[in-house]
Structure formats: structure tokens, C-alpha cells
A = this chain, B = another copy of it.
Amino acid sequence: MTSAEISTAALRRRIADLAQLPATLHNRDFLLTWKNTDEAVRSVLIAAEVIEQLYRGGLSTRLFQSGLGLSIFRDKSTRTRYAFRAACNLLGLMTEELDEKTSQVAHGETVRETATMISFATEVLGVRDDMYLGMGHNYMLEVRAALDESFAEGVLAQRPALINLQCDLDHPTQSLADLRHLISHFGSLEALRGKRIAMTWAYSPSYGKPLSVAQGIVSLMTRFGMDVVLAHPPGYELLDEPLQAARSHAEASGGSFEVTHSMDEAFENADIVYPKSWAPLAVMKRRTELLSQPESDAALGELERSCLAQNAEHKAWECNEDRMRRTKDGKALYMHCLPADISGVSCEAGEVSAPVFDRYRLDTYREASHKPFVIAAMALCTRFADPAATLGRCLDRNQKRRT
């Protein structure tokens, strides 16, 4: 799609839709989707769509003359790290990353201090901390409290928005990019009502993958009338808080939420399937305990071995052609947050067979393509009092990205 092809009229209608929603995210953070109202979530979705269209239309969405977008990654990341940086750049923010190895950051008392020290000219602060159950979200709450205090006391001239780039509870930039993908694929948010999505565990020969992608999906997709089915072997339960959110959302939205121990059952008549590995809950809880104890290396090694052995009992949980045939017309949309463990390609046996993945490979790339715009939308909605008017000005001024 080129500049000439974007429809200004259509964009103005979407901006008008956004203007109907209360700007409740202004001066707030974005940590857990279920702590935000439906309107807030819809705002981010519409803003992301508009920013993406402006981008594809070749228009600049530069809104800041200066300012930093700072990230802290306490786990490896390619996709989300890049998406965060691209999002900041779209808005005119220069990115920096706090490298805890070359700085003097420690845990405990100094989280509060560091949060302020890196925020004097910061507009957005993105954090990934997803390694240990019970820790990532709490770390973000500590950062939030520090920012609140320093802003209230006048130490900070502006309060940076804190954006969750994945914690132990939720992965909102992923789940909202995934939802943008579904909206784009099926035509509208309304079109998703009544669609069946199977969020299922799948086998991977790896250890310690976070639960938060699955938790993010079931808690978010239940919100807009979809029929969400969660499938996993016994022992791979998700945390209570997102499960409870999923149940409440399903009830409120007229959708449904069910849990099964059968991958086949989940795939049955599904419009969308999302097969993805995560670690056993008990193992993750035990791991968090051990990490706080001295001389736990041997115990941690033993834990990893038992986890992999437990995983290996469920090698049959693979998304393959047989299973895909069970889905609606055999043509469910396959989703993955990437990178996928592909049988015979990246590992001997994995989450998905090569033929299935190949057929949907470009779809998964499309799915990923929305993330920079979702993060930019979160930044826009948290940092600007009137996101709709702000986007309207981007359209009006007609500044090309390339001079």
C-alpha cells in the first residue's frame, strides 16, 4: 500500500471512533490488560491501527522533538526489543537500554532509586521481567511507585509511562498485537464475536518458557465475545489471576471460556489455534523458591531435568496436519508469537510440524508486524491527553516520513 492508497476518509472515521472513547490511559501505565477498561483496550487497538495506516501511507507520526524511550530487558528478546525501539522512533523518542551489567543496579532498595535516576528526560519506560513467577509484575509495581513518588515530589518534570514488555502475569504488547492481527484478518473486532480460539500447550524440548503469553491470550480474547478454549496437560495450569479474568470477561462479553486436557478437543471446529509451549506451574514455583536460597545449583539442575522429563511425556502435543483437519473447514488460522519450535527444523520434535508452520509462516510474520504499532499506541494513549486529536493533527499536517 503506498501513500496514494491509504484512505484519508477511512482514517478520519477511525480517529472519530477513537474520539468517542474516554482517554482513561492518560498519565497511566500499561501493565496488565485486565486491569484496564474495555474502552482503554479499544483505544489502544484503534490508535495502533491508525498509526500503522499513517506509517504505510508514508506520513510522519513524530510527536516528540526530544525525549527518551528507555528499556530494561531482564531476559533475552529480539522481537519485542526491536518493536519497542521502532515504536519509540515512530514517535520521535530516542531509545536507550539500561544494561544492568555495565551499571550498578541491584535489587531491593535500589529499584526505587534507579527508576528515578533513569527518568529525568524519559517519556516511556519499557520493562521485560518474565523469568520468575511472583517477581516480574511486582518489580514493575515497585518501579511504578517510585515514579509516582518522584513525580509527585517534583523530582521528575514528567511522569514516564511504564509499559510491560512481558512479566510473569501478562504479555500485553503480544496479546494486543495478536488481537490486531485477528481484527485485520477477520475484518473487525465485531467479526470476532463467536469465533472459537484454541490456546493450547504444545511440546517443546526446552525449559522454563514463561506462562504469560497464554495468560495474556485467554484473558484478553474472552473480552470481545470470542469462545476461548484453553488446553494443556495436567500440571501445566496457568496462574489464577489471569484465569479469573478470563472467566469474568467471558461472562461479561457473552463469549465463553473453557479448559480441557485434550489438544484434539480444543482444535475441534476452532477458527484460530495458538499452540505454544510453557513450563509446568509447580516447577516454576519451585524454581522461584530455589533461586532465593543459597547453594541451590544442584537442586535447580535436578528441577530442570524433571521438568524436561515431564515435558517429554507430552510429545504428542504437536500442531500437525491431522490436528488442523479437526478445525473449522480444516482451515483455522494458526498463530504463534515466534520463534516457534518446528519439528524437524529447529528441533527434533516441537510445537508444530514443518508443513503446518510453512503454510502459515507469512501469517505469523504479519501477526508480529503489528507489535511496533501497538507499543506506539500505548505510548500515545498514556502520554497524550487527547490521542484522537493528536492523530488527527498527524493527518492534517501531512508531513511525509521522507522529506
**A interface residue numbers (CB < 8 A to B):** 1, 55-56, 60-68, 73, 76-79, 81-83, 85-86, 89-92, 94-96, 98, 102-106, 108-110, 113-114, 116-118, 120-122, 149-150, 153-157, 338-339, 342, 345-346, 361-362, 365-366, 368-369, 371-372, 383-384, 393, 399-403
Report Cα–Cα, A361/B78, bound state, in Å: 37
Given A86-B122, A116-B368, A150-B365, 6 new contacts (CB under 8 A)? A60-B65, A63-B402, A64-B402, A73-B102, A81-B102, A149-B362
- Are B118 and A56 in contact, with the CB atoms below 8 A? no
Tell me the smallest distance from the CB of A3 to a CB of chain B, in Å. 11
- Are B401 and A339 in contact, with the CB atoms below 8 A? no
- Are B403 and A110 in contact, with the CB atoms below 8 A? no
- Are B89 and A102 in contact, with the CB atoms below 8 A? no
Choice from B1, B61, B91, B345 contacting A109 with Cβ under 8 Å: B345
Q: List 26 A-B contacts (CB under 8 A).
A: A55-B157, A63-B402, A63-B403, A65-B399, A65-B400, A66-B89, A66-B90, A66-B92, A66-B401, A73-B102, A76-B103, A77-B104, A78-B98, A78-B105, A78-B114, A86-B122, A89-B94, A94-B95, A104-B339, A110-B339, A113-B339, A117-B338, A117-B365, A120-B371, A120-B372, A155-B369
- Are B402 and A110 in contact, with the CB atoms below 8 A? no
Choice from B65, B86, B103, B371 contacting A77 with Cβ under 8 Å: B103
Q: Which residue of B lies closest to A119 (CB)?
A: B82
Interface centre among A64, A76, A82, A153, by most chain B C-beta atoms within 10 angstroms, is A82
Chain B residues lying within 8 Å of A118, measured Cβ to Cβ, are 78, 82
- Given contacts A63-B402, A89-B66, A121 and B55 within 8 Å (CB-CB): yes
As for how many copies of this chain the complex holds, the number is 3
- Are A78 and B104 in contact, with the CB atoms below 8 A? yes
- Given contacts A68-B85, A346-B110, A154 and B402 within 8 Å (CB-CB): no
Chain B residues lying within 8 Å of A63, measured Cβ to Cβ, are 402-403
Interface centre among A83, A89, A91, A114, by most chain B C-beta atoms within 10 angstroms, is A89
Tell me the smallest distance from the CB of A390 to a CB of chain B, in Å. 8
Chain B residues lying within 8 Å of A399, measured Cβ to Cβ, are 65
Q: Which residue of B lies closest to A81 (CB)?
A: B103
- Are A120 and B83 in contact, with the CB atoms below 8 A? yes
Q: Which residue of B lies closest to A116 (CB)?
A: B365
